[in-house]
Amino acid sequence: MREELLEKLRPVTEEERKILEDKKEIQKDIYTATEEFKIDGRKMLEKGRVIDIRTHTRFVSFPQHSHNFIEILYMCEGHTLHKIDGMTEVELKAGELLFLNQLSSHEIAEGEKDDIGINFIILPQFFDQVLPLLPRENELAEFVMQGMNQKGIGKNYLHYQVSDVLPVQNLVENMVWNLLHRPENTPSKLRSEPMIFLISFSLNPVL
């Protein structure tokens, strides 16, 4: 990832500052209003938005949780260790992508200062426009549909080792740039670029 983007993503967040100063514990009320640790997209996104990004919280282990949205994790630098559905261990390295649907749960080992990851938070209604454009019998389309239909037929996650696939890296960087500079962008652009990314990603023969 370009250094100018990394400089915007490296600073310690307010949440991370509290973790470092007080106690190494996730503040669950940031993510959910229920006892069950299911992260609520409505708490993560501004009203009216169906997609946004946030940096992965470092300096603390993230306990097992699920989501009511589709999450795409992109590792900018460093790495993170994930345990998915209580059994599958995945190491996400720089330049790689991890897709998690609403049926998955995962926990994340503590990350250090240079383990910089981005979470793309995508509400299910975003895919109302995307799914008809994806090719049939496609891994990504089937993965999304599985989560939306709440039917655990296949894998609840997809891990793509695409650090050396330049078109994918360019598309991700463009999305990150525009979501970070959203005051300068129209809502239509903020939706269209992720749509282009997902369609291009599903059609890329090298994946």
Q: Residue 51 corresponds to which tokens in the numbers above?
A: 């997609």
* Burial label, 160 (beta-carbon count in 10 A; 0-12, 13-18, 19+): buried
* Residue 187 vs residue 87, higher pLDDT: 87
Give the Cα separation of 78 and 85 in Å (integer).
23
Q: Using CA atoms in the order 61, 86, 201, 138, what is the torsion angle rounded to 10 degrees?
A: -170
Report, as an integer, the average pLDDT of 151-162. Answer: 80
Per-residue model confidence (pLDDT) at position 125:
83
Classify 139 as helix, strand or coil.
helix
- Quote the tokens at residue 152: 């655990």
Which range has the worst mean pLDDT, 29-43, 153-167, 187-201?
187-201
Please check the confidence at residue 205 and state whether its pLDDT lies above 50. Answer: no
CB contact at 8 A, 106 and 160: no
User: Per-residue pLDDT for 206 more than 70?
Assistant: no
Task: State how far the Cα of 3 lies from the Cα of 53, in Å rounded to an integer.
Answer: 18
Q: What is the pTM of this model?
A: 0.88
Q: Is the pLDDT of residue 38 over 80?
A: yes
